[in-house]
Copies of this chain bind each other. A is one copy, B any other.
Amino acid sequence: MSGVGKFKISQIGVVRRQHRDEDVNDRNLVSKIVIQRKYAEGLKGVEDWSHFYVIFWMHEISDEKKTLTCPRCGADAPSVGIFATRAPVRPNPIGLTLVELAKRDCNVLWVKGLDALDGSPVLDLKPYPYWVKGEWIVVTDYRKPEYFGKTHE
């Protein structure tokens, strides 16, 4: 395994927001994911799950914007690396958001809570939660940085 691997990913669909100027961070908003017809067969049965991970491409992040340090660090937060944050300006601008499936209409999914911009290419959908060997992995006992209480809440 070389350390310089590069891989090609293909778009399976696109995010369509209801209003182009809406706040993508409003978890109450519903957006559409339009899956390409050639992948629509893969959606059979998704409506049996209430929640999904949407993996998408943050297409507005140019190479020039990418960084290894938190872009908002400064006076009110410690200087941390990009992998300790969810900032989009990371080496691979892969977005990951847990959404609620409101409804499916053929190759169109209506999802609640997606923070992707209008036009974002969708790369994959995975049902939530993760499971293995009969166990459902839902972690509620987690530790977050101490500085979060002061700067992000």
Contacts and interface: CB of A to CB of B under 8 A. Distances in A.
Interface in A115-132: 115, 119, 121, 123-132
Interface string A57-88: 10100000000111000000011111111100
Number of copies: 2
Interface of A: 1-12, 14, 25, 27, 36, 39, 41-46, 48-51, 53, 55, 57, 59, 68-70, 78-86, 90-92, 94, 96-98, 113, 115, 119, 121, 123-140, 142-148, 152-153
Given A55-B96, A124-B94, A43 B131 contact: no
A89 to B, nearest CB: 11
Given A7-B57, A142-B51, A81 B134 contact: no
Contacts of A85: 127
Contacts of A86: 126-127, 130-131
A8 to B, nearest CB: 6
Contact of A51 (B5, B43, B131, B139): B139
